[in-house]
Amino acid sequence: MKSQLRPLVADVLAQLKAHALPSVCERFGLAPGQEREAFTNGKTRYVLARLNALSDEQVLNVAREVVTAYPDAKLSEGIEVLEQDGHLITDVTRLHLATAFEGFDLGGERDTADLLARHFDPTSKLSGYRHAIRYSWSNAEALERLGFMSCSQAVLFAFLEDVLDPLRRDEAGQIALAGALNPILARDGYALRPSDVKSGYRVYLVQELPAGAGPADDLISKQLEVYDERGVHEAWRKALERRRTDPDGAITAAKTLLEAVCKHILDSESKTYGPFDDLPKLYHAAAERLDLAPSQQSETVLKAVLGSCQAVVGGLAGMRNRLGDSHGQGRDHIKPGPRHAELAVNLAGALAMFMVSTWHDRRNV
């Protein structure tokens, strides 16, 4: 996004006389310079060189000031498009992302300096910084020194994706690091999500969160991940990934999520269940073990709420049978849309987290 706006700002300012350009640029907060540089290198290059040192958020702020002082239709349109359609990674988000890397090895199983050289300025004598990066600088300090705060958004995303590459860290490491970064990214409408598989290993990409998604997804993910990384969390991950691209698959995954939670609870309580028990039966048995059955409540309000939860479980089982992808469907099959998947996944996630939290509380008493 920054790369689209930067040339528009430069084009507007390059219309000024070369001798006036340095002082005007300084007025807009750009780095100082000499008239000779504007004459020798060209006015557009002069401005771009200074915009390159700014973050996306700072470039947008400069663009707003420039278009106010020097009205320009193309620059106005570029600002409007960015404000309406784009999700900008703000400076405060970049700062928090850099801090979130503390406690992690940036390079994972590969060389950290090579990772940084790949994404940041390779002419910055990075090879000479290897010892300092490894033994003196914190991750946050190394990132800030090498351009993390001012690089383009495309470079930032490429770096985040590379840090989670399966060549650098195993699945557990990927999940742990993504879990630290995603709550921060979600504030600006993004998340690192598995989007491909390489030789059986997950490949993460920065993706725009769908409308209505955000920190709640990561709150549920964190709770379920702690409970059971390989089973319950895997079902939740599939449900999240499929909401937009595969709604019927997401509905099936939502039901699978609740089944997995119920079975894990029953297993932990040494309660047996049949191989053909359906979701309503599994939920009823697990709810009784957690004292969440409506019949176990004395408070009228709790009885009503937990009765509604029971109805939701039955509804999810019905959605999966009618709208999901687990059975062959006839000609009159109703094709679910993303909104149906959002509803199923969000309901299943909320109920699963409630059951997991209750299970944790009972074990910690």
In angstroms, the CA 269 to CA 271 distance is 5
Per-residue pLDDT at 317? 79
In angstroms, the CA 142 to CA 145 distance is 5
Per-residue pLDDT at 331? 47
In angstroms, the CA 178 to CA 203 distance is 12
Per-residue pLDDT at 246? 74
Kindly state the tokens that stand for 189: 């409408």
Is the CB of residue 210 less than 8 Å from the CB of residue 339?
Answer: no
In angstroms, the CA 323 to CA 339 distance is 12
Is the CB of residue 122 less than 8 Å from the CB of residue 146?
Answer: no
In angstroms, the CA 182 to CA 214 distance is 9
Per-residue pLDDT at 134? 58
The torsion angle over the Cα atoms of residues 350, 352, 358 and 364, rounded to 10 degrees, is -120
Per-residue pLDDT at 25? 92
Per-residue pLDDT at 224? 56
In angstroms, the CA 160 to CA 148 distance is 11
Per-residue pLDDT at 161? 95
Per-residue pLDDT at 129? 56
Tally the residues of the chain.
Answer: 365
Residue-by-residue pLDDT tens, the chain, 365 positions = 445 788 999 999 999 999 999 999 999 999 988 888 888 889 999 999 999 888 888 888 899 999 999 998 888 878 877 765 557 788 899 999 999 999 899 889 988 878 888 888 655 545 545 555 555 778 888 888 888 888 878 889 999 999 999 999 998 888 889 888 988 888 888 888 887 777 878 889 998 775 544 444 554 555 555 555 455 666 676 777 677 667 787 888 888 888 888 888 888 888 889 888 999 999 999 999 999 999 998 888 888 999 988 898 888 878 766 655 444 444 455 677 778 888 888 888 888 888 888 887 777 65
* pTM of the predicted structure, to 2 decimals: 0.51
Per-residue pLDDT at 220? 53
Name the maximum alpha-carbon separation found in the chain.
Answer: 84
Phi and psi dihedrals of 210, rounded to 5?
A: -70, 160
Per-residue pLDDT at 47? 92
Burial (0-12, 13-18, 19+ Cβ within 10 Å), 219: middle
Is the CB of residue 19 less than 8 Å from the CB of residue 35?
Answer: yes
Per-residue pLDDT at 344? 83
Could you write out the three-class secondary structure of the chain? CHHHHHHHHHHHHCCCCCCCHHHHHHHCCCCCCCHHHHHHHCHHHHHHHHHCCCCHHHHHHHHHHHHHHCCCHHHHHHHHHHHHHCCCCCHHHHHHHHHHCCCCCCCCCCCHHHHHHHHCCCCCCHHHHHHHHHHCCCHHHHHHHHCCCCCCHHHHHHHHHHHCCCCCCCHHHHHHHHHHHHHHHHHHCEEEEEEEEECCEEEEEEEECCCCCCHHHHHHHHHHHHHCCCCHHHHHHHHHHHHHHCHHHHHHHHHHHHHHHHHHHHHHCCCCCCCCCCHHHHHHHHHHHCCCCHHHCCCHHHHHHHHHHHHHHHHHHHHHHHHCCCCCCCCCCCCCCHHHHHHHHHHHHHHHHHHHHHHHHHHHC
In angstroms, the CA 304 to CA 300 distance is 6
Q: Which has the closest alpha carbon to 75: 15, 152, 151, 31?
A: 15
Per-residue pLDDT at 1? 46
